[in-house]
Structure 1
């Protein structure tokens, strides 16, 4: 499965609102319905439940592995590569699809007013972005309480930049990722220092 087309006849927010209600879907199904760049779309859908205060607690353990798989595939093949069939078949729960159709659609509508194709040479470095997304996905899999929102937000920013071909959002996502990594290193260093002193 690859880029299902970048039709501009309808904005992405309108296509999100048109998704079927209370119905399980796979990543492939979602990409066919939305007709957009599959890696960015998949990462956005998988990251946002942890990036926002949505009623889907403790989703990082469930969504982290497919996020890592999509990121790894993006790193190897770029945005124009086709997702392997097994990854395209990954199921998205009806509750997640409902939240995508309602709350995410409103957020995307606001984002569409702020984003446009720009700094496309940065967006073209999609394999490097995939490597960074893989690192953030691995951080999400760590048992770190109260630390999921920041890396998930950076993942969502990077995914949105890929999806909209907006290099500004990619740069913001990269900057945020540097802060996340620095905070994690400082926290782990502080923990090691505390353990050595006890």
Structure 2
């Protein structure tokens, strides 16, 4: 079944931070907190973790996002996280922060996201968005300064837009990802110019 064929799923209300013992969640447990798994829901959680400044998480999750893109293109169900990745613990501090962020995203979706420009979320566009997810995963993987923020935000908007059939959110996803691509090209040009100047200095 194509991801677009799944009806929009409501985000479940996460565990309330501060209630009882502080949570120390694994990635698998975090996904279980969000209710029934779907490809957009898995993408949302993984992308949100990439946006948050948790050292090394973007590099760790980029491969899982790329695998999700393959399934998205084929209309396959979301893959289970590898055992080692699914068992990765966020720790109490980041568990609370991620749960709060998911609560904020839930409130944002209810208020601002709705079906519009729905042709952009048609099943026929799934292959394009799968390629887009893979491209954002590649940028997240690269060790760029703050390189996770724009591609991660692009994927968050993509997941929310897909679930709500909100084409405007998908356009914003493309704009955010376009900014990530522009930043990558600028950094590449800067690195090339630096190497060229260094080579000229060595020849003198």
Normalising by the residue count of structure 1, what TM-score does the alignment of the two structures yield?
0.77
1:82 corresponds to? 77
The alpha-carbon distance between structure 1 residues 173 and 2, as it changes in their structure 2 partners (threshold 3 A), is closer
Shift, 1:140, TM fit: 0.8
The correspondence of residues 23-172 of structure 1 with structure 2, limited to 5 A, is: 23-24=25-26, 26=28, 30=31, 34-35=35-36, 38-53=38-53, 56-75=54-73, 77-78=74-75, 81-85=76-80, 91=86, 93=89, 95=91, 98-124=96-122, 125-172=125-172
Deviations 1:17-68 (A, max 9, x none): 48xx5454638x93695236x1111111011123245xx3331121111111
C-alpha contact (below 8 Å) 1:60/1:148 kept by paired residues: yes
CA contact (8 A) 1:126 1:162 kept: no
- Gap change, CA 1:7 and 1:143, over 3 Å in 2: closer
* Conserved 8 A contact 2:113-2:160: no
Residue ranges of structure 1 left out of the alignment (5+ in a row): none
Question: 2: distance between equivalents of 1:73 and 1:87?
Answer: 15
Between the aligned partners of 1:2 and 1:16, the Cα distance in structure 2 is 27
Which structure 2 residue ranges, 5 or more long, are not aligned? 17-22, 199-204
What is the Cα deviation at residue 151 of structure 1? Answer: 1.3
- The two structures have a TM-score, normalised by structure 2, of 0.75
Rg larger in structure: 2
Q: Secondary structure at the match of 2:14?
A: helix
